[in-house]
Amino acid sequence: MAVAVNEPVAAVRPVPARHFVRLKLRVLGNNFRGQKWRVAMFVTGVLFGLWFAAIGFVLFALPGLADEPTYALLVAAFGGGLVVLGWVLLPLVFFGVDETLDPARFALLPLPRRSLVTGLFAAALVSVPAFAGLLALSGLVVTAGVIGGWSAAVVQAVGVVAGVLLCVAAARAMTSAFASMLRSRRVRDLAAVLLAVLAALLGPLQLLGVAAIQDADWDRLVPVAEVIGWTPFGAPWTAGIDLAEGRTWAAPVKLLVTAVTIVALLAWWSRSLESAMLGAVSSGPASTTKATAGGPVAQLFPGAARWLRRDRFGALVARETRYWWRDARRRANLITLAVIGLFVPAMVNFGGSGFTIDEQGISVTEGSSPVVVSLSMLFVGVLAAVTLANQFGFDGSAYAANIVAGVPGQVELRARMTAFSLYVLPLVVFVSLALTVVLGEPGWLGLSAGTLLATYGAGLAVNSYLSVLGAYDLPETSNPFAMNSGAGVARSFLTLLSMVVSAVAALPMVLAAALLGDVWLWLAFPVGAAYGVGAALLGAYLAGDVLDRRQPELLTTVTPNR
């Protein structure tokens, strides 16, 4: 080459983690510039974070403040364990992770993997949920201090900080690993892992629930708490308490368990980061399975949508149906929905009031009721519908095609509901059937299906509004769990709000189950189905009008800034 650059920069200076933190803060700050509503969302998010943190703080400090040392271990192990679990599962199910610093952007920089991981980790720590968690769990420091004095408080403080580190590392490692699983289309593995994790929780959660309901012997739970205290779920939170209660040797070991877990999680994260950095562009291997005969139109319509007319509505439904499966982000949503939709009714109806504890141990009794069935179906229906809360965000700038073609808002929304329902309705039938068969109450089939349909329909209506008015852009990364910077907490709040509104809209179904008695078992299905379909159509009609007026604005909000 004629042009020779002098020489490569000789010694590369190591990049300290604080650079990543500063970069994240700068990106966050620039996002707020001139965007008043973004600032407002963020402030709302911070306030909610503080509110939950305060409640958590009081709960965790309660055993100390009330001077009830017997409960200290229970609160630390179970409460702390739940927090870790939340950090692991919630990003997968609802909220995603804040990916202000997309790892793929660092792919070209000569960064050693170690400094990249520590840097991204440090940046991930700077977030509202992490601070809120730290604040809430600091309550344990008070507890440990009251029981065991200064030394216990100091050890507990170290434990709490390490525990929050563990939470963040776990969230990052899990989402990153699941993302690469989704990319490689190992969907069944993913679903299996999720189911296994949830199923493993079933036992402890039920014990806790039973004890709470029956106000039974709390001492029975102490052995369980001790065991949890030795796992990564409880180790960081119980170290100081152990010291306070005189098990001095346990504290350093538990801190060590925590440290080893953090390192292991970071190592795991670092491995899947590699694939995230390289695989940012492709969506995975193209499906070249069958060279379908037939013209382009025939190819567009998948099997489940064959019955549709070959017109505008049909094309929209067909495209959406294909997208729910082909787009990794949407597929992730479908899978979690299926897993949770099966798990929650099972847990609520076979557990909850279903177990009793007596002298012989644990025994199972029939404990479900029409009201409990209705409530669990309400949850599934709400959860299914909230998947559509940011349906236009999934499309991103591709939505421009529909605007250019002049698709009316009502057709658009009805088609999207129909396509999603092609996946949800079989789930509804299956969940209802499975539940009633296993409960041995086939008469409740109408009840559970009816409630589910009513909630789902009402939820669709609420979420079509939300998807038009509260849409936001999703980053174009390979991580289907990635959220855009900043407003994560506020977004989650919006999602929760929509779930509450949908649930309230469907509450009459539960009330009817409670008040009407056996007549309702017959009426629930027709009434629920009519209510659901009616609500969904009304929602599409009203929200479609809003959409007609807001199409260009909606496109702007869902287009990722580059």
Least separation, in Å, of the C-beta of 398 and other proteins? Answer: 4
Residue 355 host element (H or E)? strand 355-358
314 contributes a contact to other proteins by CB under 8 A: yes
| 288 part of the interface to other proteins, by CB under 8 A | yes
397 binds other proteins (CB under 8 A): yes
Of 456, 113, 76, 465, nearest to 250 by C-alpha is: 76
Is there binding between residue 473 and other proteins (CB under 8 A)?
no
Contact pick of 4, 11, 515, 519 for other proteins (by CB under 8 A): 4
Q: How many CB atoms lie within 10 A of CB 102?
A: 20
Contact characters 30-69, other proteins, x per CB under 8 A: ----x-----------------------------------
CA dist 208 → 136, 204, 215, 308, 368 (Å): 21, 6, 10, 49, 18
Decide if residue 297 touches other proteins (CB under 8 A): yes
For the chain, the residue count is: 562
Q: Does 312 bind other proteins (CB under 8 A)?
A: yes
Q: For other proteins, which stretch binds (CB under 8 A), given 17-25, 244-252, 297-305, 530-538? A: 297-305
- Residue 395 binds other proteins, judged by CB under 8 A: yes
Instruction: For other proteins, give the closer residue by CB, 295 or 361.
Output: 295
Instruction: Say which residues have a Cβ less than 8 Å from residue 348's Cβ, sequence separation at least 6.
Output: 372, 375, 376, 379
- Work out the angle between the directed axes of helices 187-214 and 80-90 (0-180°, nearest 10): 150
Q: How far is CA 167 from CA 133, 157, 481, in A?
A: 9, 15, 17
Shortest distance (Å) from residue 181 CB to other proteins: 19
C-alpha count within 13 angstroms, C-beta hemisphere, residue 37: 4
Residue 531 near residue 509, CB atoms below 8 Å: yes
Burial state string for 291-302 with b = 16 or more CB within 10 A and e = fewer than 16: eeeeeeeeebbb
In the complex, what is the shortest distance from the CB of residue 331 to other proteins, in angstroms, rounded to a whole number? 11
> Between residue 243 and residue 282, which ones bind other proteins under the rule CB under 8 A?
282
SS3 call for 361: strand
| Beta carbon nearer to other proteins, 34 or 361 | 34
Candidates 155, 181, 194, 315; binder of other proteins (CB under 8 A) is 315
Q: How far is the CB of 6 from other proteins (least distance, A)?
A: 6
CB of 315 to other proteins, least distance (A): 3
| Cα separation of the two ends of the chain | 34
Report in angstroms the alpha-carbon separations of 380 from 16, 263, 286, 343. 46, 37, 33, 10
Sole binder of other proteins in the list 5, 9, 10, 515 (CB under 8 A): 5
**Using CB under 8 A, which of the segments 107-115, 173-181, 316-324, 351-359 binds other proteins?**
316-324
Type and span of the H or E element at 115: helix 113-125
Minimum CB–partner distance for residue 301 and other proteins (Å): 8
Place of tokens 């399975």: 289
How near is the Cβ of 186 to other proteins at its closest, in Å? 18
Task: Print the binding letters for residues 323-342 with other proteins: x by CB under 8 A, - otherwise.
Answer: x--xx---------------
* 404 lies in the site for other proteins, by CB under 8 A: yes
Q: Are 448 and 431 in contact, with CB atoms under 8 Å apart?
A: yes
**Minimum CB–partner distance for residue 529 and other proteins (Å):** 29
The backbone torsions φ and ψ at residue 475, rounded to the nearest 5 degrees and listed phi first, read -65, 145
Among 43, 212, 401, 438, binds other proteins (CB under 8 A): 401
Instruction: Supply 163's token pair.
Output: 């525990």
Among 287, 361, 365, 519, the residue binding other proteins under the rule CB under 8 A is: 287
Measured distance CA(350)–CA(366) in Å, rounded: 8
Q: How far is the CB of 22 from other proteins (least distance, A)?
A: 24
CA angle 218/375/188 to nearest 5° reads 90
Per CB under 8 A, does 291 bind other proteins?
yes
Q: Which of 406, 515, 518, 519 binds other proteins (CB under 8 A)?
A: 406
The 10 Å Cβ neighbour count of residue 37 is 9
Site residues (vs other proteins, CB under 8 A): 3-6, 34, 282-283, 286-288, 290-292, 295-300, 310-312, 314-316, 318-319, 322-323, 326-327, 395-398, 400-407, 552-553, 555-556, 559, 562
